Amino acid sequence: MTDLTPHAAALTAVLTANGRPALGAFLPAGFPNWTAGIDTLSQFAQHGADFLEVGVPHHTPALDGPDIAAAYSAALSQGAAMAHVISTVRLTAANTHKPVVVMSYWEPVRAFGPQRFAEELAEAGASGAMIPDLRGEAAAQWHAIATAAGIHAPQFVSRRDSDTELEQTATAASGWIYAPAADARTGFQGDLDIPGLRAFTGRLRARTRHPVVAGIGISTPARARQVAPYVDGIVIGSPLVRPLLSNGRGRQHALEELAAFANALRPAPQLRTLPA
């Protein structure tokens, strides 16, 4: 079995040693453009992100809502390709010294070559890559390829999955299990079923020792605080992408939003009783 790269091992440490959920910040590669995207990811690292997630732009992102879909479209219209993703990972990992995970649909990975994808990500300093539309044997095959390259292969699960399906997914995962906080596309801003999430994460923890990371529907810092007791990490995407789609102070608004999420996940200060 291939050992984990130092970058992959660093991701495990971040998700297991904080004493609070680690905060991940998502941004598509090449958005708002290639150089601005790399600079924004570096700024995310300075404003509270414990790890960074780089999205591979895709023309039919079935699991994503309008904000991330629009960001992918903007990146693709400027010529974003897998080479930009690899370069974004390389520069972001070197500039921030934070774990960097890639999120991609299967089609771009299949076209690029899964083994080449894994090997180039590992060489560039990625900690892993999650492919959320892979299931069953295909997910197991990707896990084997990623493991051979020394990087993690996080897996996406649904609370509609049976216990058997959850066990199969956990077997084909490393790094983390991604448990959506809402059964919806990214960008969902409605109420969260917290008792349902608690039961779902309980089912997962009964079947795997992998850290559990949540995203989708964690639209405000208050919702992040609600979800925090049940997970090891939270990934924020649409709340950061949405302001970047606008003009003016888009990046500043995104950084302020990220800092608010980071503050929401910090443990409350312990008050000391003064001696009488």
Cα separation of 114 and 108, whole Å? 9
Question: How far is residue 90 from each of residues 29, 65, 84, 122, 244, measured CA to CA in Å?
Answer: 12, 27, 10, 9, 22
- Among 50, 53, 120, 257, the one annotated catalytic: 53
The answer to whether 201 and 233 have CB atoms below 8 angstroms apart is no
Q: Is 64 a catalytic residue?
A: yes
**Sign of the CA dihedral 122, 89, 258, 246?**
negative
- Among 50, 64, 120, 257, the one annotated catalytic: 64
Q: Is 137 a catalytic residue?
A: no
Whose CA is closest to 184, among 216, 151, 221? 216
**Hey, what amino acid is at 6?**
P
Cα separation of 194 and 115, whole Å? 38
Residues with catalytic function: 53, 64
